[in-house]
Every structure is written in C-alpha cells, then in structure tokens.
Structure 1
Amino acid sequence: MQSGMVLMEEGKDPIVTARTNQSRGFPQRLLQILVGFFLLCVVFSAISMYMVRYSGFQSAVAMARPSFQLCVEKPSNGLEQWIRPPSKLMHNMTDEELFWRATFMPRMKNYPFDRVPKIAFMFLTKGPLPLAPLWERFFNGHEGLYSIYVHSLPSFQDQFPASSVFYRRQVPSQVSEWGKMSMCDAERRLLANALLDISNEWFILLSESCIPLYNFSVIYHYIMKSKYSFMGAFDDPGPFGRGRYNSNMAPEVNITQWRKGSQWFEVNRKLAVYIVEDTKFYPKFSDFCKPSCYVDEHYFPTMLTIQAPNLVANRSITWVDWSRGGAHPATFGRADITEEFLKRVLEGQSCFYNNQPSSVCFLFARKFAPSALDPLLLVAPKYLGY
C-alpha cells in the first residue's frame, strides 16, 4: 500500500513538474513572438519609408523634367526668338496689338547674324488666286528669298495643297471695300504681318490679277539695288487730284502737300514701318477723304511725300492700261495674250532707275482675267523668262 502511494505520489510529481515548466516556458515564447513581430514591424516601416521617399523623388524628377526640357528646347533669352519668323500666320492679335508689335525696328544697321534680305509678296484679294500656277513657276527655286502673305475675305478658306507656296499664307483678314479706308486698313494689315519677319526688306502689294513681267532673279536684284521705294506721288491740279482735297485736313495736310498715286506700291522696310505706325495722318484721311475721294489713291502718297520725300521714286513699277477709259483699268483675257501685246507691255519704256535713264520700268502688270492663265503659261518661258 505504501509503495502504491509512493508510486501514485511519484506519478503526480511529473505532472505537476510538467505544468510548472509549461507555465514558465509560455512567457518566453510569447516574448519571442512579440519581439519578432516588433522587428517585423520595424523592417516593414523602414521599407515603407524608403518607398515613399523614392517615389517622392521620382515624382519630383518627373515634374522637373518637362520644365528642364522646355527650357532647353525653347530658350527664353536667345537671339533666335527675335529673328525667327512666325511659324503660323494666323493669330488673335487686334490691329492695334499687331501694329504695335510690327513696328519694333532695330536702330543698328549691322545685324549680329547672317541675314538674307527677302521680298514680301503681299496679295490683296477677295478670294481665290486664279493665276497661282503662274506664280508657283515664278517662285520655284528661289526659296529663302521671298515670303508670301494673302489678305482675303474673312470667310474665304484657301484650298492650296501643302506643296504650294501659298499653303497657309493667309493672314487674319477683315472686309475691305474699294475706295474706302478699309482698303488702306487691309494694306496696313498686310504690311504689319510681313514686318513680323525681320528678314523681309521689301514689300510689294499685288492683286489676284497681277503677273510678274520678268523672272525672279531680275525682279529681286532690281528691287534690292534700288535707292528708292516705288510709289506714285504726283500733284494733280485737276478735279480728280486737288479737287478731292478737304480743307479740314489742315494743318496736318495742306493742299500743296496733297498727292495722288497708284494703289499698288513697292516700299522698303523703313517706309513700311512709317505706314504701319502712322497715327497722325490716319484720322484726317479717315474722316475727310471719303468717296468720291478714293482714299487708297491719296493716303500713302501724301503721307510719304510729307515724311520721306527723298525716299520715294514717284512712280509705280506695276503696269496698267487706262486707255479704254472708265473708273477701272482694262482687263485682259485669253484672246489678248499675244506676242504683240507682250511686246507692247515690255518694250518702249523710259524711266529713271537710281537717277539713271532705264528702259526697264515695270516689273509687274495687271489686270489679267482667269482665262488668261493658260496662254500666259505657254508664253512665259519665251517672253517672261520663267
């Protein structure tokens, strides 16, 4: 019995001892788990902080990169921005803003870059350019020596292909009416848009019915070497000259300064700026030269005679035929384009060029109907040189 009791007691002792060991080991394992969890949290937190910082840095780099590239691609203070012509002619400037911008003019004669002077061909039209194929042939091979600007009705949309020299050469336009100040506004608008290209040195006003009488090289050198701008400005004592003068234009313009000339002109950059920047004479002509004054025949000739009389040749280099009489010159169609006709236009001329007698007096001619295009294309290589 005693031995059995001992066994029973000894049998109980291992159980009690095991429970005691388990109660002592449990806090150790729990502590290990807690420590492991804590370390895991620390590692996770460190990784999270690193990822946040890295992504933030990448975001900052991504945000900074476009600004840096923009600065590299489009420098804000380089010379290029001042000498590069506008990539697009269409803009949203008002006439006031355009004229202000266009009249920026360098005071130094020498340019700090290789400037190739260009001629701005400015077409004042109502819509299409029916003689465009002839002009395309004229311009071919002379890229970099000319620029083209077209002022038409605002609603007109040209259909020129991308390969054409007239493609997207239309400037922001407004309605212009013959014999009214809106016609002079359109001409000033053309000049102002052309002045935005600092390489344009000469400015020629043309209509859709004009043609060149010589090849590009002859016309380019004739104009570039001229000491004078070409604008008719004569004193007509008759009813269609001084008879249109209004005494309300004094004292800015008196009757002895009143001049008349052709609407179609060729002026250098200096006189183009004079025309665009004018605020002295414009109000007088706008208010007191109304039909039947025909302001486009008097405004520019009178103003330039007053401001720069020694810079004007007092003749136009655009040929027209007034022999048929009437308010408009003769228009020539298909049947008129003959050898005799072209000889009459090109030969028998006499004028002064740079104060010397010359037989080459007209570089352009008008008015030619659309039907004249095909015969002109046929005779141009032989008689016109292009």
Structure 2
Amino acid sequence: MTTAALAPAVLLASPAFAETNEAAAPANPPAPTAPDHEAADAPGEDQAEQDRKTILAIIADPMASEYMKEAGHKAIADGPAAMRTFIETDQHRIRLDDYRIAITRLVNHAGPALKEGIKNLLRTDGLTLADLRHFLEVTQHELRDDDNKVEIARLTNTAGPALKEAARKALLGTPADRAAFLDKGRHLAQAEDDLVELARIDEGSDGPILSEAIHKLLIGPPTPAELRHFLEVTQHELRDQDNRVAIARIISVGGPELVKAGRAALAGTPADRAAFLLTGQHQAREKDNNAQQENDKNDGQQVQDGTGTGSGTGTKNDTGTGTGNTPDTGNTAVTPQGGSGSPLASTGAGDTTLVAGGAGTALVAGAGFLLAARMRRQASDS
C-alpha cells in the first residue's frame, strides 16, 4: 500500500471491538513537514518575506494543528529571527508533539494488540518524525487487524452455523474483509441463525402470548436488531406472561397445597414461576393427594368403629364416600417456558438496523419462509 493510499486513513481510529469500524480522527492531525527554505516568489524578495510566506503555507495546511497555527502566527508577529527559528526548529518539534498526541488518541478505540503497540512506541526514546508517521500510516492498521482477527475468532465460540461460516470466510480474507464483517456482516449472519432459533422456539412453545408475538414479528419482516432483541429480551418477558396465565389456570381447580405453591410462584420471580410449572406443581399436587388419602383413611376407620356421622345406631351404614377433596390433576402438560435453555450469545449488535442490499433481501425471504411454514403447521393442527 502506497503512502498516498494510506494518507486518508492516517488518523482513523476504528475500534477493533466496536459494532462499526469507522474511524475517529484526531481533532488536529499532524501536517506535512515544510522545507526550511522556499524559493523567492519574486526577484530581489528578501529572506524575511520568504520566511513569512513559508510559515503561512505551513499553517494553512488543513492538517496543521491549532498549536502549529498559534506558533506560526506568533513567529510572524515576532519578526524575522523568530520566523527563521520557527522554520528551522519549532515546526519540527511541534509536529513531533502532534503525532504523539494523535497516536495517544488511538487508545480510546483500540483493542489489546493496538494498545500494547502504542504503549511500546511511546516508551521508545529518540523517536523520529518518520517513526511516528510510519506507525500512524502502517503499523496501527496492522495491529488493528490483529485485534479484529482475535475478535472474530471469539465470536465463533458461541456462534450458530451461519455466523461461523461468515466468520471463517472473513478470517481467510483481507483486512478489509474482516473490518466489513465486524461492521455489518456479522449482524446479517447472526440474523440467519436467529431465524432458525425463532423457528425452534415457535415449534416448542404452547404459550399463546409468545406464539402470537412470534407471528407478528415474522410478518414485519424483522431487522437483525429486532430479531436479536426479541431473542435476548422479549421472548423471556412473553414467556413469563404465558407462565402466569398457566399457573392461574392450574390453581383455579387445585387443592390447598397447590393453591399455596401457585400463589407463591405468582408473587415471586420469573424463575420461580418456571420452576413451579416444571416441578413445583407436581410436588404440591402430590401433597394434596396424600392429604386426601389420609382423610379418606380416617373416615373409613370412623365408620368401622361406629363413630362416624351415620345414623347414630353404631351400624356401618356410613359408606365414607364423600368427594369434597378429590385431587385435581391441573395442567400437568404445561411446559416451563423460561426456566431452562442456555442463554443466547450476544454479539453487541445493539439497536442498529442493518438490513441492506442483497443480504437484507435474503433475511426478509428467510422470515417469509419461516412464517409460511408456521402457518402450514397451524393449519395441519386445526
């Protein structure tokens, strides 16, 4: 890569782990070094006038820092000797400081490799202007790519098939490919995996609230950010709402222990409600059944002893067949909807809407296919 090609990116500070790799340029990037002498603009022009024009050219450069501009104006105001000192000495010293400041600012958006490279550079004694310029124009981008490789490899640890494949291609590609993957590509690939996960959830869910929300989401069609938020946040909220409805239905026909446990779950956390549906309801129902059996046993013993509530003649004319405490089976088929399953991997997608071009069209088509399959399944069940 030539110096000219690198120049626009000299002070770009694209984060290695940010969702975008756009640069954050320092406010006052270093200006090119001006020569100590310039040819006279006109025959007979004195040295002071030449120096004044040289300084004006230096401070007029778009990349000149504010400190460079202030020092140049001051040199012009202080006269010929000050202008000569500025051209021969001060401008180079100021430019070294500007490069150091620009490199230091890169730390704010740097990954581990770039941070370590900056630290080592600034600890080095006797740095020249060429050393600092090479770091800004070449080395920082090499270190940034090293950080990108590490980040992409980290993403694959918890990725689905589509994201893993996209990450593999990025790792085999160019630095630009890796930057593009971290900027947008990973979110589009993650969306493909999220559609598959959404289909799995919809297939296993028997909660009407969650099921209806999935249906509405697919009609959207959803963006990658909307899919990610639904899977990471919304589905758990809706699952808990379905759990509340299921618990209320179960305890409406339950015995004392079942009602007690159900009310405690409703007053507790989402995890409490999921645990009740998974195991708690069955444990409470068993207690109610045991209590009923004990009551039936006692009633039968009273009849045999002639101490029951029959005719009072001491005969066994009380059959003890009361039905006041028949155990209720409740909805034992309710599946816990929120207490199990591994957490979804987060890639830091944020709320950025990333559907664009062909990749966005593919995502829309995927959502449409999933919705069509869902509707066919509902039709076959009805």
- Shorter-chain TM-score bucket reads under 0.3
TM-score when normalising by structure 2: 0.21
Give 1 or 2 for the bigger CA radius of gyration.
1
TM-score when normalising by structure 1: 0.20
